Structure 1
Amino acid sequence: MHSSLPNPERVDFAAKQREFTDYIRDPDNNPPPTDAPLERVAVYRELLFNNINGFLSSNFPVLFSLLEAEQWNALAQDFFVKHRCESPYFSEIPEEFIAYLQNERNQEGDFPFLVELAHYEWVEMALAISKDTLAINADYANLAARTVALSPLAWPLAYQYPVHKIAPEFIPDSAPDQPTFLVVHRNAADDVVFIEVTPMTYQLLAMIQAQEQVVAGDCLQQMAQASGHPNPELIVAGGLQILDEMVAKNIIAVVA
Protein backbone atom coordinates (compact mmCIF):
# COMPACT_ATOMS: atom_id res chain seq x y z
CA MET A 1 0.00 0.00 0.00
CA HIS A 2 1.14 3.50 -0.72
CA SER A 3 0.38 6.21 1.76
CA SER A 4 -0.54 9.55 0.31
CA LEU A 5 0.80 12.75 1.78
CA PRO A 6 -1.24 15.93 1.68
CA ASN A 7 -0.23 18.31 -1.10
CA PRO A 8 1.46 21.46 0.19
CA GLU A 9 -0.50 24.60 -0.44
CA ARG A 10 0.31 25.89 -3.87
CA VAL A 11 1.83 29.34 -3.98
CA ASP A 12 0.78 31.88 -6.59
CA PHE A 13 4.24 33.23 -7.35
CA ALA A 14 2.94 35.91 -9.72
CA ALA A 15 0.69 37.24 -6.97
CA LYS A 16 3.57 37.13 -4.49
CA GLN A 17 5.78 39.07 -6.89
CA ARG A 18 3.08 41.70 -7.38
CA GLU A 19 2.61 41.98 -3.63
CA PHE A 20 6.34 42.42 -3.14
CA THR A 21 6.91 44.90 -5.99
CA ASP A 22 3.80 46.96 -5.16
CA TYR A 23 5.11 47.45 -1.63
CA ILE A 24 8.64 48.17 -2.87
CA ARG A 25 7.29 50.87 -5.18
CA ASP A 26 4.82 52.48 -2.83
CA PRO A 27 4.90 51.29 0.80
CA ASP A 28 2.56 54.09 1.90
CA ASN A 29 -0.33 52.74 -0.16
CA ASN A 30 0.28 48.98 -0.30
CA PRO A 31 0.38 46.33 2.44
CA PRO A 32 3.77 44.75 3.23
CA PRO A 33 4.47 41.20 2.06
CA THR A 34 3.30 38.73 4.68
CA ASP A 35 6.19 36.28 4.47
CA ALA A 36 9.28 38.53 4.36
CA PRO A 37 10.98 40.42 7.22
CA LEU A 38 10.13 44.10 6.81
CA GLU A 39 13.64 45.26 7.68
CA ARG A 40 15.05 43.22 4.80
CA VAL A 41 12.38 44.47 2.43
CA ALA A 42 13.19 48.03 3.49
CA VAL A 43 16.89 47.52 2.72
CA TYR A 44 16.03 46.09 -0.69
CA ARG A 45 13.70 48.99 -1.42
CA GLU A 46 16.31 51.55 -0.41
CA LEU A 47 18.95 49.97 -2.64
CA LEU A 48 16.62 49.80 -5.63
CA PHE A 49 15.31 53.34 -5.23
CA ASN A 50 18.83 54.73 -4.69
CA ASN A 51 19.96 53.08 -7.94
CA ILE A 52 17.11 54.68 -9.87
CA ASN A 53 17.55 58.01 -8.11
CA GLY A 54 21.30 58.08 -8.75
CA PHE A 55 20.84 57.22 -12.42
CA LEU A 56 18.31 60.02 -12.85
CA SER A 57 20.43 62.65 -11.07
CA SER A 58 23.51 61.78 -13.14
CA ASN A 59 21.60 61.93 -16.43
CA PHE A 60 19.62 65.08 -15.68
CA PRO A 61 22.25 67.21 -13.88
CA VAL A 62 20.75 70.60 -14.75
CA LEU A 63 17.28 69.64 -13.57
CA PHE A 64 18.84 68.12 -10.44
CA SER A 65 20.69 71.37 -9.75
CA LEU A 66 17.49 73.44 -9.97
CA LEU A 67 15.60 71.52 -7.28
CA GLU A 68 16.00 71.34 -3.53
CA ALA A 69 16.88 67.86 -2.25
CA GLU A 70 13.34 67.34 -0.96
CA GLN A 71 11.82 68.39 -4.29
CA TRP A 72 14.14 66.14 -6.28
CA ASN A 73 13.48 63.14 -4.05
CA ALA A 74 9.74 63.69 -4.36
CA LEU A 75 10.03 63.79 -8.16
CA ALA A 76 12.16 60.63 -8.27
CA GLN A 77 9.78 58.91 -5.86
CA ASP A 78 6.77 59.86 -7.96
CA PHE A 79 8.47 58.35 -11.04
CA PHE A 80 9.36 55.24 -9.03
CA VAL A 81 5.73 54.81 -7.92
CA LYS A 82 3.78 55.72 -11.06
CA HIS A 83 5.78 54.65 -14.08
CA ARG A 84 5.93 51.10 -15.38
CA CYS A 85 9.14 50.83 -17.38
CA GLU A 86 8.89 49.01 -20.70
CA SER A 87 12.63 48.30 -20.83
CA PRO A 88 14.75 46.31 -18.36
CA TYR A 89 17.93 48.24 -19.28
CA PHE A 90 19.28 50.93 -16.97
CA SER A 91 20.56 52.89 -19.98
CA GLU A 92 16.94 53.40 -21.08
CA ILE A 93 15.71 54.75 -17.74
CA PRO A 94 16.19 58.40 -18.89
CA GLU A 95 13.88 57.78 -21.86
CA GLU A 96 11.36 56.17 -19.52
CA PHE A 97 11.62 59.27 -17.32
CA ILE A 98 10.77 61.48 -20.31
CA ALA A 99 7.70 59.31 -21.00
CA TYR A 100 6.66 59.67 -17.37
CA LEU A 101 7.01 63.47 -17.48
CA GLN A 102 5.02 63.69 -20.71
CA ASN A 103 2.23 61.26 -19.85
CA GLU A 104 1.96 60.76 -16.09
CA ARG A 105 3.38 63.76 -14.30
CA ASN A 106 0.77 66.36 -13.37
CA GLN A 107 2.08 68.33 -10.43
CA GLU A 108 1.17 71.93 -9.74
CA GLY A 109 4.27 73.98 -9.10
CA ASP A 110 6.54 72.16 -11.55
CA PHE A 111 8.73 74.31 -13.75
CA PRO A 112 6.86 75.17 -16.97
CA PHE A 113 9.92 74.04 -18.91
CA LEU A 114 10.31 70.74 -17.02
CA VAL A 115 9.58 68.40 -19.93
CA GLU A 116 11.62 70.40 -22.45
CA LEU A 117 14.66 70.66 -20.18
CA ALA A 118 14.57 66.96 -19.38
CA HIS A 119 14.26 66.10 -23.08
CA TYR A 120 17.19 68.38 -23.91
CA GLU A 121 19.34 66.62 -21.29
CA TRP A 122 18.23 63.17 -22.47
CA VAL A 123 19.22 63.92 -26.08
CA GLU A 124 22.89 64.23 -25.12
CA MET A 125 22.97 60.76 -23.61
CA ALA A 126 20.89 59.23 -26.41
CA LEU A 127 23.30 60.48 -29.07
CA ALA A 128 26.36 59.59 -26.99
CA ILE A 129 25.37 55.91 -26.81
CA SER A 130 23.80 55.64 -30.27
CA LYS A 131 25.13 52.77 -32.35
CA ASP A 132 24.71 54.73 -35.59
CA THR A 133 27.87 55.62 -37.44
CA LEU A 134 28.91 59.01 -38.74
CA ALA A 135 29.37 59.43 -42.48
CA ILE A 136 32.31 61.71 -43.23
CA ASN A 137 31.84 63.89 -46.32
CA ALA A 138 35.02 63.78 -48.37
CA ASP A 139 33.67 65.37 -51.56
CA TYR A 140 30.72 67.72 -51.85
CA ALA A 141 31.45 69.76 -54.95
CA ASN A 142 28.44 70.99 -56.93
CA LEU A 143 26.33 70.60 -53.80
CA ALA A 144 23.04 71.77 -55.30
CA ALA A 145 23.01 68.77 -57.63
CA ARG A 146 23.91 66.23 -54.95
CA THR A 147 21.57 63.98 -52.99
CA VAL A 148 21.75 64.66 -49.28
CA ALA A 149 20.37 63.20 -46.06
CA LEU A 150 20.39 64.22 -42.43
CA SER A 151 22.95 62.31 -40.40
CA PRO A 152 21.32 59.87 -37.95
CA LEU A 153 23.64 61.44 -35.39
CA ALA A 154 22.16 64.92 -35.90
CA TRP A 155 18.82 65.97 -34.45
CA PRO A 156 17.12 69.30 -35.22
CA LEU A 157 15.12 70.37 -32.15
CA ALA A 158 12.64 73.15 -31.41
CA TYR A 159 11.75 74.22 -27.87
CA GLN A 160 9.51 76.93 -26.44
CA TYR A 161 12.14 77.68 -23.79
CA PRO A 162 15.89 78.38 -24.21
CA VAL A 163 16.72 75.08 -22.55
CA HIS A 164 20.43 75.32 -23.34
CA LYS A 165 20.70 78.44 -21.14
CA ILE A 166 18.69 77.26 -18.13
CA ALA A 167 20.76 77.02 -14.95
CA PRO A 168 20.39 77.88 -11.25
CA GLU A 169 21.27 81.46 -12.26
CA PHE A 170 18.67 81.55 -15.04
CA ILE A 171 15.23 80.04 -14.38
CA PRO A 172 12.62 81.50 -16.77
CA ASP A 173 9.05 81.64 -15.53
CA SER A 174 7.48 82.09 -18.96
CA ALA A 175 8.35 81.22 -22.54
CA PRO A 176 9.88 83.97 -24.69
CA ASP A 177 8.12 85.21 -27.79
CA GLN A 178 10.46 83.29 -30.09
CA PRO A 179 11.15 79.55 -29.81
CA THR A 180 14.65 78.14 -29.54
CA PHE A 181 16.05 76.08 -32.41
CA LEU A 182 18.96 73.74 -31.83
CA VAL A 183 20.89 71.10 -33.71
CA VAL A 184 22.48 68.43 -31.57
CA HIS A 185 25.02 66.17 -33.26
CA ARG A 186 27.81 63.75 -32.52
CA ASN A 187 30.96 64.72 -34.35
CA ALA A 188 33.96 62.79 -35.63
CA ALA A 189 35.60 62.97 -32.18
CA ASP A 190 32.45 61.37 -30.69
CA ASP A 191 31.66 64.58 -28.81
CA VAL A 192 28.00 65.59 -28.58
CA VAL A 193 27.70 69.23 -29.65
CA PHE A 194 24.74 71.60 -29.30
CA ILE A 195 24.41 74.43 -31.83
CA GLU A 196 21.79 77.16 -31.70
CA VAL A 197 20.52 77.78 -35.24
CA THR A 198 18.20 80.15 -37.07
CA PRO A 199 14.60 79.25 -37.91
CA MET A 200 15.66 78.93 -41.55
CA THR A 201 18.38 76.41 -40.72
CA TYR A 202 15.99 74.42 -38.56
CA GLN A 203 13.36 74.42 -41.33
CA LEU A 204 15.88 73.22 -43.90
CA LEU A 205 17.17 70.41 -41.71
CA ALA A 206 13.63 69.37 -40.81
CA MET A 207 12.68 69.24 -44.49
CA ILE A 208 15.67 67.05 -45.31
CA GLN A 209 14.90 64.81 -42.33
CA ALA A 210 11.28 64.39 -43.42
CA GLN A 211 12.26 63.36 -46.95
CA GLU A 212 15.08 61.03 -45.84
CA GLN A 213 17.01 61.65 -49.07
CA VAL A 214 16.57 64.58 -51.42
CA VAL A 215 18.47 66.46 -54.11
CA ALA A 216 19.78 69.56 -52.36
CA GLY A 217 18.68 71.98 -55.06
CA ASP A 218 15.15 70.53 -55.09
CA CYS A 219 14.90 70.93 -51.34
CA LEU A 220 16.05 74.55 -51.56
CA GLN A 221 13.43 75.28 -54.22
CA GLN A 222 10.74 73.72 -52.02
CA MET A 223 11.82 75.90 -49.12
CA ALA A 224 11.89 79.04 -51.26
CA GLN A 225 8.40 78.32 -52.59
CA ALA A 226 7.03 77.63 -49.11
CA SER A 227 8.50 80.86 -47.75
CA GLY A 228 6.54 83.09 -50.11
CA HIS A 229 9.57 85.38 -50.27
CA PRO A 230 9.39 87.98 -53.08
CA ASN A 231 12.96 87.08 -54.09
CA PRO A 232 13.10 83.28 -53.86
CA GLU A 233 16.61 83.24 -55.28
CA LEU A 234 17.80 84.82 -52.01
CA ILE A 235 16.30 81.91 -50.06
CA VAL A 236 18.01 79.43 -52.37
CA ALA A 237 21.37 81.19 -52.04
CA GLY A 238 21.07 81.45 -48.28
CA GLY A 239 19.97 77.85 -48.01
CA LEU A 240 22.91 76.67 -50.11
CA GLN A 241 25.29 78.47 -47.76
CA ILE A 242 23.63 76.76 -44.78
CA LEU A 243 23.87 73.40 -46.51
CA ASP A 244 27.55 73.92 -47.16
CA GLU A 245 28.17 74.64 -43.46
CA MET A 246 26.13 71.64 -42.33
CA VAL A 247 27.85 69.32 -44.81
CA ALA A 248 31.27 70.53 -43.61
CA LYS A 249 30.25 69.53 -40.07
CA ASN A 250 28.87 66.16 -41.30
CA ILE A 251 25.46 67.12 -39.93
CA ILE A 252 24.20 66.56 -43.44
CA ALA A 253 25.60 63.63 -45.40
CA VAL A 254 26.16 63.69 -49.15
CA VAL A 255 24.91 60.28 -50.25
CA ALA A 256 25.15 60.58 -54.04
Structure 2
Amino acid sequence: MSFIDVQNAFMAHIRDPQNVSGPSHIEDRRLNIYRELFFNNIEGFVSSAFPVLKSLYNETDWQGLVRQFFVTHNCQTPYFLEISREFLLFLQFEYEPTPSDPSFMLELAHYEWAELDVAVCQSSDDYVPVYDLEQQALFFKDTARNLSYQFPVHQISADHLPTEPSAQPHYFVVYRDPQEEVAFLSSNPMTAMLLQIIEHTPGISFDDLVTQVHSQLPQFELAQLQAGAKQTLTAFVELGIIASKKRE
Protein backbone atom coordinates (compact mmCIF):
# COMPACT_ATOMS: atom_id res chain seq x y z
CA MET A 1 0.00 0.00 0.00
CA SER A 2 1.39 3.39 -1.00
CA PHE A 3 1.70 6.31 1.41
CA ILE A 4 -1.18 8.06 -0.35
CA ASP A 5 -3.32 4.96 0.11
CA VAL A 6 -2.43 4.91 3.79
CA GLN A 7 -3.40 8.57 4.13
CA ASN A 8 -6.70 8.01 2.33
CA ALA A 9 -7.54 5.01 4.50
CA PHE A 10 -6.68 6.96 7.64
CA MET A 11 -8.85 9.94 6.65
CA ALA A 12 -11.73 7.72 5.57
CA HIS A 13 -11.80 6.27 9.07
CA ILE A 14 -11.47 9.67 10.77
CA ARG A 15 -14.42 11.01 8.79
CA ASP A 16 -16.66 7.97 9.18
CA PRO A 17 -15.46 5.77 12.06
CA GLN A 18 -18.83 4.04 12.32
CA ASN A 19 -18.53 2.49 8.86
CA VAL A 20 -14.80 2.51 8.03
CA SER A 21 -12.31 0.53 10.08
CA GLY A 22 -9.17 2.24 11.32
CA PRO A 23 -5.63 1.22 10.32
CA SER A 24 -4.78 -1.97 12.16
CA HIS A 25 -1.26 -0.83 13.08
CA ILE A 26 -2.50 2.20 15.08
CA GLU A 27 -4.03 1.65 18.49
CA ASP A 28 -7.59 2.88 18.88
CA ARG A 29 -6.69 5.23 21.76
CA ARG A 30 -4.51 7.26 19.41
CA LEU A 31 -7.02 7.13 16.60
CA ASN A 32 -9.66 8.47 18.95
CA ILE A 33 -7.57 11.60 19.54
CA TYR A 34 -7.69 12.35 15.81
CA ARG A 35 -11.36 11.39 15.51
CA GLU A 36 -12.34 13.85 18.21
CA LEU A 37 -9.92 16.57 17.14
CA PHE A 38 -11.04 16.71 13.52
CA PHE A 39 -14.76 16.41 14.16
CA ASN A 40 -14.81 18.80 17.09
CA ASN A 41 -13.00 21.43 15.03
CA ILE A 42 -15.55 21.16 12.23
CA GLU A 43 -18.48 21.09 14.63
CA GLY A 44 -17.13 24.13 16.45
CA PHE A 45 -16.85 26.22 13.28
CA VAL A 46 -20.32 25.19 12.10
CA SER A 47 -21.94 25.83 15.49
CA SER A 48 -20.38 29.27 15.84
CA ALA A 49 -21.59 30.28 12.36
CA PHE A 50 -25.14 28.93 12.79
CA PRO A 51 -26.03 29.41 16.48
CA VAL A 52 -29.78 29.89 15.95
CA LEU A 53 -30.05 26.90 13.66
CA LYS A 54 -28.18 24.78 16.20
CA SER A 55 -30.49 25.90 19.00
CA LEU A 56 -33.45 24.30 17.18
CA TYR A 57 -31.98 20.79 17.41
CA ASN A 58 -31.26 18.51 20.31
CA GLU A 59 -27.60 17.64 20.72
CA THR A 60 -27.88 14.20 19.15
CA ASP A 61 -29.63 15.43 16.01
CA TRP A 62 -27.25 18.38 15.61
CA GLN A 63 -24.21 16.16 15.97
CA GLY A 64 -25.72 13.79 13.41
CA LEU A 65 -26.29 16.62 10.93
CA VAL A 66 -22.72 17.90 11.26
CA ARG A 67 -21.40 14.34 11.08
CA GLN A 68 -23.25 13.79 7.81
CA PHE A 69 -21.68 16.97 6.45
CA PHE A 70 -18.25 15.82 7.67
CA VAL A 71 -18.62 12.38 6.12
CA THR A 72 -20.23 13.14 2.77
CA HIS A 73 -19.32 16.67 1.71
CA ASN A 74 -16.21 17.22 -0.39
CA CYS A 75 -14.96 20.64 0.71
CA GLN A 76 -13.47 22.75 -2.07
CA THR A 77 -11.35 24.99 0.14
CA PRO A 78 -8.69 24.43 2.80
CA TYR A 79 -9.58 27.58 4.74
CA PHE A 80 -11.32 27.27 8.11
CA LEU A 81 -13.29 30.47 7.53
CA GLU A 82 -14.90 28.85 4.49
CA ILE A 83 -16.27 25.88 6.45
CA SER A 84 -19.55 27.71 7.11
CA ARG A 85 -20.00 28.35 3.38
CA GLU A 86 -19.29 24.68 2.65
CA PHE A 87 -21.90 23.68 5.22
CA LEU A 88 -24.44 25.99 3.56
CA LEU A 89 -23.66 24.46 0.16
CA PHE A 90 -24.11 21.01 1.69
CA LEU A 91 -27.55 21.97 3.00
CA GLN A 92 -28.56 23.59 -0.29
CA PHE A 93 -27.43 20.93 -2.76
CA GLU A 94 -26.69 17.64 -1.00
CA TYR A 95 -28.71 17.28 2.16
CA GLU A 96 -32.14 15.61 2.07
CA PRO A 97 -34.28 17.24 4.77
CA THR A 98 -36.04 15.01 7.25
CA PRO A 99 -39.39 15.58 8.99
CA SER A 100 -37.47 16.88 12.02
CA ASP A 101 -35.84 19.70 10.00
CA PRO A 102 -37.67 23.04 10.01
CA SER A 103 -39.14 24.17 6.69
CA PHE A 104 -37.18 27.42 6.95
CA MET A 105 -33.87 25.62 7.43
CA LEU A 106 -32.16 26.87 4.25
CA GLU A 107 -33.29 30.46 4.62
CA LEU A 108 -32.23 30.65 8.26
CA ALA A 109 -28.86 29.08 7.47
CA HIS A 110 -28.27 31.58 4.65
CA TYR A 111 -29.28 34.51 6.86
CA GLU A 112 -26.84 33.43 9.58
CA TRP A 113 -24.05 32.74 7.08
CA ALA A 114 -24.46 36.19 5.51
CA GLU A 115 -23.19 37.82 8.70
CA LEU A 116 -19.91 35.92 8.57
CA ASP A 117 -19.66 36.37 4.82
CA VAL A 118 -19.81 40.15 5.20
CA ALA A 119 -17.49 40.14 8.22
CA VAL A 120 -14.64 38.36 6.43
CA CYS A 121 -15.14 39.84 2.95
CA GLN A 122 -11.93 41.26 1.48
CA SER A 123 -13.17 44.61 0.24
CA SER A 124 -11.93 46.42 -2.85
CA ASP A 125 -9.71 49.39 -2.02
CA ASP A 126 -10.83 51.64 -4.86
CA TYR A 127 -14.09 52.92 -3.38
CA VAL A 128 -14.51 56.64 -2.79
CA PRO A 129 -17.29 58.50 -0.97
CA VAL A 130 -20.29 59.80 -2.89
CA TYR A 131 -20.50 63.57 -2.56
CA ASP A 132 -22.85 64.16 -5.49
CA LEU A 133 -25.40 61.42 -6.26
CA GLU A 134 -26.34 62.94 -9.59
CA GLN A 135 -22.78 63.22 -10.89
CA GLN A 136 -20.87 60.18 -9.58
CA ALA A 137 -21.07 56.54 -10.65
CA LEU A 138 -22.86 54.40 -8.07
CA PHE A 139 -21.71 51.03 -6.73
CA PHE A 140 -23.21 48.56 -4.28
CA LYS A 141 -20.24 47.83 -2.03
CA ASP A 142 -18.83 44.33 -1.87
CA THR A 143 -19.19 44.44 1.93
CA ALA A 144 -22.99 44.56 1.65
CA ARG A 145 -25.64 41.98 0.77
CA ASN A 146 -29.15 42.66 -0.51
CA LEU A 147 -31.29 39.78 0.79
CA SER A 148 -34.88 38.59 0.83
CA TYR A 149 -36.54 35.60 2.49
CA GLN A 150 -39.99 34.08 2.58
CA PHE A 151 -39.77 33.34 6.31
CA PRO A 152 -39.17 35.91 9.09
CA VAL A 153 -35.63 34.66 9.65
CA HIS A 154 -34.76 37.57 11.93
CA GLN A 155 -37.40 36.47 14.44
CA ILE A 156 -36.79 32.73 14.49
CA SER A 157 -35.81 31.14 17.78
CA ALA A 158 -36.59 28.01 19.77
CA ASP A 159 -39.70 29.86 21.01
CA HIS A 160 -40.79 31.16 17.62
CA LEU A 161 -40.94 28.55 14.86
CA PRO A 162 -43.06 29.60 11.87
CA THR A 163 -44.47 26.70 9.89
CA GLU A 164 -45.56 28.61 6.78
CA PRO A 165 -43.92 31.36 4.71
CA SER A 166 -45.06 34.91 5.34
CA ALA A 167 -47.62 36.54 3.07
CA GLN A 168 -44.92 38.94 1.84
CA PRO A 169 -41.12 38.52 1.60
CA HIS A 170 -38.82 39.94 4.24
CA TYR A 171 -36.05 42.20 2.94
CA PHE A 172 -32.70 42.94 4.60
CA VAL A 173 -29.40 44.61 3.91
CA VAL A 174 -26.39 43.13 5.71
CA TYR A 175 -23.37 45.40 5.55
CA ARG A 176 -20.11 46.54 7.15
CA ASP A 177 -20.47 50.01 8.52
CA PRO A 178 -17.71 52.68 8.49
CA GLN A 179 -16.43 51.27 11.80
CA GLU A 180 -16.07 47.83 10.14
CA GLU A 181 -18.87 46.35 12.26
CA VAL A 182 -21.47 44.07 10.67
CA ALA A 183 -24.99 45.50 10.81
CA PHE A 184 -28.44 44.39 9.68
CA LEU A 185 -31.04 46.73 8.20
CA SER A 186 -34.67 45.90 7.46
CA SER A 187 -35.56 46.90 3.93
CA ASN A 188 -38.62 46.99 1.65
CA PRO A 189 -39.45 45.96 -1.93
CA MET A 190 -38.71 49.39 -3.42
CA THR A 191 -35.33 49.68 -1.71
CA ALA A 192 -34.47 46.08 -2.59
CA MET A 193 -35.19 46.84 -6.25
CA LEU A 194 -33.07 49.98 -6.12
CA LEU A 195 -30.11 48.11 -4.66
CA GLN A 196 -30.53 45.18 -7.02
CA ILE A 197 -30.27 47.47 -10.04
CA ILE A 198 -27.11 49.10 -8.68
CA GLU A 199 -25.60 45.72 -7.81
CA HIS A 200 -26.30 44.30 -11.25
CA THR A 201 -25.28 47.50 -13.06
CA PRO A 202 -22.11 48.65 -11.30
CA GLY A 203 -21.22 52.24 -12.05
CA ILE A 204 -24.76 53.21 -13.02
CA SER A 205 -25.65 56.89 -12.95
CA PHE A 206 -28.43 58.26 -10.77
CA ASP A 207 -30.53 59.26 -13.78
CA ASP A 208 -30.24 55.82 -15.39
CA LEU A 209 -31.05 54.18 -12.08
CA VAL A 210 -34.26 56.15 -11.62
CA THR A 211 -35.19 55.54 -15.26
CA GLN A 212 -34.91 51.77 -14.73
CA VAL A 213 -36.97 51.93 -11.56
CA HIS A 214 -39.59 54.01 -13.35
CA SER A 215 -39.79 51.47 -16.18
CA GLN A 216 -40.71 48.81 -13.61
CA LEU A 217 -43.01 51.07 -11.58
CA PRO A 218 -44.67 53.34 -14.14
CA GLN A 219 -47.54 54.05 -11.75
CA PHE A 220 -45.23 56.41 -9.84
CA GLU A 221 -44.31 59.89 -11.02
CA LEU A 222 -40.68 60.22 -12.11
CA ALA A 223 -40.12 63.16 -9.75
CA GLN A 224 -41.51 61.10 -6.87
CA LEU A 225 -39.08 58.25 -7.62
CA GLN A 226 -36.18 60.69 -7.92
CA ALA A 227 -36.90 62.20 -4.51
CA GLY A 228 -37.33 58.78 -2.86
CA ALA A 229 -34.20 57.36 -4.45
CA LYS A 230 -32.13 60.36 -3.44
CA GLN A 231 -33.28 60.13 0.17
CA THR A 232 -32.62 56.38 0.36
CA LEU A 233 -29.24 56.50 -1.35
CA THR A 234 -28.07 59.42 0.77
CA ALA A 235 -28.73 57.35 3.87
CA PHE A 236 -27.01 54.32 2.37
CA VAL A 237 -23.94 56.36 1.46
CA GLU A 238 -23.63 57.36 5.11
CA LEU A 239 -24.02 53.73 6.22
CA GLY A 240 -21.29 52.54 3.85
CA ILE A 241 -23.59 50.52 1.60
CA ILE A 242 -23.33 52.69 -1.53
CA ALA A 243 -20.10 54.27 -2.80
CA SER A 244 -18.44 55.47 -5.95
CA LYS A 245 -15.06 54.46 -7.39
CA LYS A 246 -11.88 56.15 -8.45
CA ARG A 247 -11.82 57.22 -12.06
CA GLU A 248 -9.29 55.41 -14.23
Q: TM-score, normalised by structure 1?
A: 0.89
Is the contact between residue 162 and residue 180 of structure 1 (CA under 8 Å) also seen in structure 2? yes
Per-residue deviation, 1:45: 0.4
Q: Secondary structure at the match of 2:98?
A: coil
The residue that corresponds to 1:131 in the other structure is: 122
Per-residue deviation, 1:247: 1.6
The residue that corresponds to 2:182 in the other structure is: 192
Q: Secondary structure at the match of 2:42?
A: helix
Q: Secondary structure at the match of 1:27?
A: coil
Query: Take 2:97 and 2:207, find their aligned partners in 1: how far apart are those partners?
Result: 48
Unaligned ranges ≥5, structure 2: none
Is the contact between residue 214 and residue 220 of structure 2 (CA under 8 Å) also seen in structure 1? no
The residue that corresponds to 2:218 in the other structure is: 228
Q: 2:11 aligned with 1:21, yes or no?
A: yes
CA deviation profile, 1:20-66 (whole Å, cap 9, x unmatched): 11111112222332322222212210111111111111121111222
Query: Take 1:130 and 1:239, find their aligned partners in 2: how far apart are those partners?
Result: 27
1:241 to 231, 234, 237: 231
The residue that corresponds to 1:94 in the other structure is: 84
Determine what percentage of the aligned residue pairs are the same residue.
37
The residue that corresponds to 1:5 in the other structure is: none
> Which has the larger displacement, 20-29 or 203-212?
20-29
Is the contact between residue 149 and residue 253 of structure 1 (CA under 8 Å) also seen in structure 2? yes
Corresponding letter in the other structure for 1:119: H
Structure 1 stretches of at least 4 aligned residues deviating more than 6 Å after TM superposition: none
The residue that corresponds to 1:114 in the other structure is: 105
Gap change, CA 1:189 and 1:133, over 3 Å in 2 = farther
Gap change, CA 1:204 and 1:230, over 3 Å in 2 = closer
CA deviation profile, 1:94-133 (whole Å, cap 9, x unmatched): 1111111111110212111111111111111121122215
The residue that corresponds to 2:20 in the other structure is: 30
Q: 2:94 aligned with 1:104, yes or no?
A: yes
Is the contact between residue 171 and residue 192 of structure 2 (CA under 8 Å) also seen in structure 1? yes
Query: Take 2:4 and 2:196, find their aligned partners in 1: how far apart are those partners?
Result: 47
Number of residue pairs aligned between Structure 1 and Structure 2: 244
The residue that corresponds to 1:252 in the other structure is: 242
Unaligned ranges ≥5, structure 1: 1-10
Is the contact between residue 62 and residue 167 of structure 1 (CA under 8 Å) also seen in structure 2? yes
CA-based RMSD: 1.7
Radius of gyration: which is bigger? 1
Query: Take 2:150 and 2:128, find their aligned partners in 1: how far apart are those partners?
Result: 32
Is the contact between residue 247 and residue 254 of structure 1 (CA under 8 Å) also seen in structure 2? no
Query: Take 2:186 and 2:238, find their aligned partners in 1: how far apart are those partners?
Result: 17
Per-residue deviation, 1:248: 2.2
The residue that corresponds to 1:207 in the other structure is: 197
Query: Take 1:123 and 1:214, find their aligned partners in 2: how far apart are those partners?
Result: 25
Corresponding letter in the other structure for 1:65: S
Query: Take 2:157 and 2:204, find their aligned partners in 1: how far apart are those partners?
Result: 39
